[in-house]
Amino acid sequence: MGDTITQIKAKAHVYGDHIDTDRIIPGKYTKTLDLSSLAAHVLEDLDPNFNKIVQQGDILVAGVNFGCGSSREQAPLALKQAGVSVVIAKDFARIFFRNAINIGLPVLEIADHSIEKGAQLEVDLKEGTVTDLDANITYKATKLPAIMIDILSEGGLVNYLTKHGNYSL
């Protein structure tokens, strides 16, 4: 499989458009520091079975405007804690995108995809490609800048800065 940070092979869980942060993790569960509690309730209003069917390393796939709504950092944390290895969407709310990178959850934008529920996907973060192994289609995602790959490889921004100090261009 290669580098587990930048190359991921797993099953897709596919959802629709405009999934806001309150659908990712309802606000009533965000007043905790217990990340396993967040994972237990991730996506429960959208798919009550998600936390029972998601496996470590699985991939979440969505449509447009994923992560819209509030700027709550618990949304990507809940997904990561539940075992999601990467989120693929047609596009993201910018604050969700940045929060995901900051906490070490890879996110990729593919403007036009037709990935179906249960598809086996192979993701290469460095190359910015997603291959649907079932449909034999390779999608080109918006490529992440090298610094974002580095941040993800360290497990998030805090870990990156702890190890490398301030980044300068």
Q: What is the pLDDT of residues 83-92, one digit of tens each?
A: 999 999 999 9
User: How many C-beta atoms surround the C-beta of residue 54 within 10 A?
Assistant: 21
pLDDT at 36: 81
Query: So what's the pLDDT on residue 167?
Result: 57
What whole-number percentage of the chain has pLDDT above 70? 95
Tallying the residues shown for the chain, one arrives at 169
Neighbours of 134 (CB within 10 A): 13
Q: 57 — phi, psi (to 5°)? A: 95, -10
How buried is 129 (Cβ within 10 angstroms: 0-12 exposed, 13-18 middle, 19+ buried)? middle
pLDDT at 168: 55
Pick out the chain residues at pLDDT < 50. Answer: 1-4, 169
